[in-house]
């Protein structure tokens, strides 16, 4: 029920990337307000153009593009002056959109200028993606992708407790595994042919085990001793 509205988009790559991100997350209603003609045509003729872009609609004004929506949400940044509404974080804005019963339009300004005061005055709520103050400005398609993701995000997907995993550093584990593999080679357990596969299997196993750093030190000592014996024969 949420449409994505791009105001004056200028970059064909961005328009295509927006359409792809929307499709990734199940949003199919793309609207463009007065897009740069060439950009729109280029985006549509791109090889990977798909359903969302093919079915996008062009409007002359913002007012027309959001006409059927009962909740209009604009994306803005802290740099915007004279906002008539509080600027909310995306987490809050997305909750508002999910809870809304009717049609929603989520509008994005042009890459260069963002939303105009005219565009902003159509909005019932304003949101910002929580980027750093020092580097606020996001790529348009990435901003759309993140908003779509937040809208379908599922807290219920979270488990109550996570299983414990190893806390050791990857390089220590790698040294241990390299030693173990060498021991297996010297002992004849592994042939040249099967070396890669065994190496990978060892790695997978040890990434799953909740080894402590202390335990790894002990195991590494064992392998070193075995290696020394194998080599001194």
Site residues for a second copy, 14-53, by CB under 8 A, read 17, 20-21, 23-26
Which of 45, 54, 57, 63 lies at the binding interface for a second copy (CB under 8 A)? 63
Which of 70, 191, 212, 225 lies at the binding interface for a second copy (CB under 8 A)? 70
Size of the site for a second copy (CB under 8 A): 74
Determine, following the binding rule CB under 8 A, whether residue 80 of this chain makes contact with a second copy: no
Three-state secondary-structure class, residue 214: helix
Half-sphere exposure of 167 (CA within 13 A, CB side): 6
Nearer to a second copy, 45 or 174 (CB): 174
Site residues for a second copy, 114-153, by CB under 8 A, read 117-118, 120-125, 129-132, 135-139, 141-142, 145-146, 149-150, 152-153
Q: CB–CB of 27/2 below 8 Å? A: yes
Which of 5, 6, 33, 71 lies at the binding interface for a second copy (CB under 8 A)? 71
Phi and psi angles of residue 32, each rounded to the nearest 5 degrees, phi first: -120, 130
Please give the Cα distance from 207 to 148 (Å, whole number).
33
Determine, following the binding rule CB under 8 A, whether residue 55 of this chain makes contact with a second copy: no
- Pairing between β-strand 71-75 and β-strand 87-89 as defined by DSSP bridges: unpaired
Nearer to a second copy, 50 or 229 (CB): 50
Q: CB–CB of 51/28 below 8 Å? A: yes
Please give the Cα distance from 73 to 104 (Å, whole number).
8
Site residues for a second copy, 149-208, by CB under 8 A, read 149-150, 152-155, 157-159, 162, 165-171, 174, 196, 200-201, 203-204, 207-208
Determine, following the binding rule CB under 8 A, whether residue 87 of this chain makes contact with a second copy: no
The three-point CA angle 78-80-82 to 5° equals 120
């Amino acid at each position: 029920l949420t449409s994505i509205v791009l105001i004056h988009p200028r970059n064909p790559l961005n328009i295509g990337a927006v359409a792809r991100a929307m499709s990734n997350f199940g949003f199919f209603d793309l609207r463009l307000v007065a897009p740069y003609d060439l950009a729109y045509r280029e985006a549509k003729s791109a090889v990977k153009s798909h359903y969302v872009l093919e079915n996008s609609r062009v409007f002359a004004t913002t007012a027309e593009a959001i006409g059927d929506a009962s909740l209009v949400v604009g994306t803005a940044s802290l740099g915007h002056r004279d906002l008539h509404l509080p600027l909310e974080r995306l987490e809050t804005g997305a909750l508002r959109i999910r809870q809304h019963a009717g049609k929603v339009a989520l509008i994005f300004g042009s890459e260069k200028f963002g939303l105009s005061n005219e565009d902003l005055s159509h909005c019932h709520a304003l949101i910002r993606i929580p980027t750093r103050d020092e580097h606020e400005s996001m790529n348009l398609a990435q901003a759309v992708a993140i908003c779509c993701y937040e809208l379908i995000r599922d807290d219920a997907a979270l488990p109550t407790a996570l299983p414990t995993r190893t806390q050791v550093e990857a390089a220590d584990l790698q040294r241990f595994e390299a030693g173990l593999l060498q021991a297996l080679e010297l002992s004849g357990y592994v042939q040249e042919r099967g070396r890669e596969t065994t190496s990978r299997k060892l790695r997978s196993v040890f990434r799953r085990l909740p080894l402590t750093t202390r335990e790894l030190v002990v195991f590494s000592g064992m392998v070193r001793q075995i290696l020394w014996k194998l080599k001194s024969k």
